Structure 1
């Protein structure tokens, strides 16, 4: 580690350790000494602190909040609502950063470049620009010294997760932490994200309901991603203020469904960050723009087979199939009772895909229904002695929860079963492996960390 990275990491840890240490102190006090604390109030304070920091700690916390029992439920509930809202860098700073990526004459490579950022997130900010031929583009510029910031933040979350696990948790989350760490480090590499964007463009090229930006390789570096500009607006704002009709909502739902399920079942790839901020309503109201390709997971074909096997197990109420599916997923040494407990979660995920009827994504009018099911599963796992969460489970589970939440907010009824069956009716493991290998090679996606 370079000196600047080391001191950057130490500075970051100094700013965050008090907040994360507070989690440990309160959990330890309650567990060891019977000291009751207002965890809900402290969690709200923690969210306020993390939300004001530029950097990935809130992103890590969002990931951790979707891993069953990684953190106390009060903290998980608050951290799950975090949004990246740090103020953007000013123009003088942007000029220096752009020069560092493209050279001192970088402005001569653009026809125009906005001084003000059009969006700011946890790792970088976006500027609108035009190329010399008039093509409109978006330039995502990473904040400085993010590598050291990521490492410092990961250490803090690891501390919080490990202490909570020792004191109050039945689930072993070491592998989950390794998965979160690997995916977040990958997000720092914008050349990787550009390849993953190309991959999604290839996988979804015949899906008119989903539009993907195209990266501009000659203006992309490890910390600058230049891509074609897609016209569109906030899907969340459209739902809250635009009063879209049923057909428009169905178009968004079809786009969201295809954007997630087609890459997974046809290529073994998932977009691991499905939240409202990564979807735009297109101007024609006929589908969505899909954004942000940093958190992508490529699964071996055998894992996709395990997911399909679990679907069959739930459909057929077959515990032996379920046990084999969980083994393929990476779970080990599961007792019969533990398999039955995990079945609660599997039924929650698969039921909408199983019923051949028009229905809402969930029949319960409760946006926290998924979290309540997770709490019920946790209570059952306590009785069975706990289980190790495999790495492969983390992004799959996070994506399913996030996508379900978006579907719930769409308030649309669809025949999810028929759309699902259209995707998997001719599934063969050999075909998936060949399609996956060809797509990854054509897009230039590097091996995972």
Structure 2
């Protein structure tokens, strides 16, 4: 069997093992309940072992499956502490670690992308990767003009792997549709697929990074490294140093946590107005805090293109929820297709569902904590609760997918940071429609 098809079969088998493993643990759980153990004890054990298997499998893979795992990892803060604690380190690794490719493979890709004389473009090149991610790994080097640079090299076969993973994940659309009957799941997954496929061409990523670097050039609080060279499978940009947010999450001081949280919030809310783009891959591995107090931002493969800035609808929706105007809120949601035709929802129920999500904007400063996020996850995750039923009846239009992903992901990071942030002032300044 050829190498790529063989690996594709192995990857599919690993992904397919996840639901089978879950089913096996559930059956085992029933047996333990019959043996006299409480449902709470058994549920906690099943959940913990399921999490362990999910992240173990996704951590072995590159491409779409690992990127899916990285996306999941920022929601670690929503998992109850007694379940999350054993896996916190493994989740963090998913954000920045993958099995490295051999040096000879790296050299071959560089020769294909930068030419047979690629070595002449570098004064130095470190064969050991400094970081790795879902579809590529990063090497530290010195450009021929003396600049320290980061060289991002795509894994050979990453495109085939990504496409195979996405096809496999798209097969889950019918299952997901049953979980969230009010949403149009397939268009959402297709939008996610299209955005992820864009990440395969590093020239697109380089163009995104150039746009961000230009928009934030000379900024006192955000630093985006400049692109030095790019090709379809390799991008070279200026090297930046800083303390990764994962380190601050683990053992940062209070001032560091609050500063990182504020800068991250400002970056996400201001980028659409300043660059016409939204950085759409929010996990701690893509952000560092420099010694100069500026936020460093890397990895611009996934972006939402918002040439007119953030949609005004989101600001209006937030304002109506804050002001407790249920009828106006439902009318807006229906006109913008957040409520599908034929779906009946009561304004008070929608307000009760959305109200806690806008809680960070009710005060001058809000303390984002794991407990707060866990309470939100419990509230909407309990299938017996009215809030969960309301959430399952709401639809997410595809054009809002990446914005929603960034909002949830960034909120997860803020809760991991345990940061106190002036969220209301940031939203009031950068979100159209909020103060109109």
Structure 2: stretches of 5+ with no match in the other structure: 32-42, 76-83
2:289 alignment counterpart: 281
Q: What SS does the corresponding residue of 2:150 show, helix, strand or coil? A: strand
Q: What SS does the corresponding residue of 1:87 show, helix, strand or coil? A: coil
Aligned partners of 1:377, 1:400: CA distance in 2, in Å?
A: 23
1:301-332 Cα deviation digits (max 9, x unpaired): 49611111101111221224323443465422
Aligned partners of 1:426, 1:165: CA distance in 2, in Å?
A: 31
TM superposition shift of 1:252 = 2.0
Q: What SS does the corresponding residue of 1:122 show, helix, strand or coil? A: coil
Higher mean displacement: 86-95 or 203-212? 203-212
1:18 alignment counterpart: 13
Query: Residues 387 and 373 of structure 1: is their aligned pair in 2 closer, same or farther, counting only changes over 3 Å?
Result: same
TM superposition shift of 1:159 = 1.8
TM superposition shift of 1:407 = 1.7
TM superposition shift of 1:269 = 3.1
2:169 alignment counterpart: 157
Aligned partners of 2:189, 2:394: CA distance in 1, in Å?
A: 15
TM superposition shift of 1:224 = 0.5
User: Does 1:351 find its partner at 2:363?
Assistant: no
1:271 alignment counterpart: 279
Choose which of 124, 130, 133 in structure 2 pairs with 1:121. 133
1:71 alignment counterpart: none
1:203-229 Cα deviation digits (max 9, x unpaired): 33363111101112xx31011011111
1:199 alignment counterpart: 211
Number of aligned positions between the proteins: 408
1:290-369 paired onto structure 2 within 5 Å: 290-299=297-306, 301=308, 304-327=311-334, 329-331=336-338, 332-333=340-341, 335=343, 337=345, 340-355=348-363, 357-361=364-368, 365-369=371-375
Q: What SS does the corresponding residue of 2:236 show, helix, strand or coil? A: strand
Aligned partners of 1:114, 1:189: CA distance in 2, in Å?
A: 23
1:443 alignment counterpart: none
2:52 alignment counterpart: 44
1:434 alignment counterpart: none
TM-score, normalized by length of structure 2? 0.80
1:395-440 Cα deviation digits (max 9, x unpaired): 22221122112222333323322233233589999xxxxxxxxxxx
TM-score, normalized by length of structure 1? 0.78
Higher mean displacement: 178-187 or 168-177? 168-177
Does the CA-based 8 Å contact 1:128-1:137 persist in structure 2? Answer: yes
Does the CA-based 8 Å contact 1:186-1:192 persist in structure 2? Answer: yes
Aligned partners of 2:423, 2:388: CA distance in 1, in Å?
A: 33
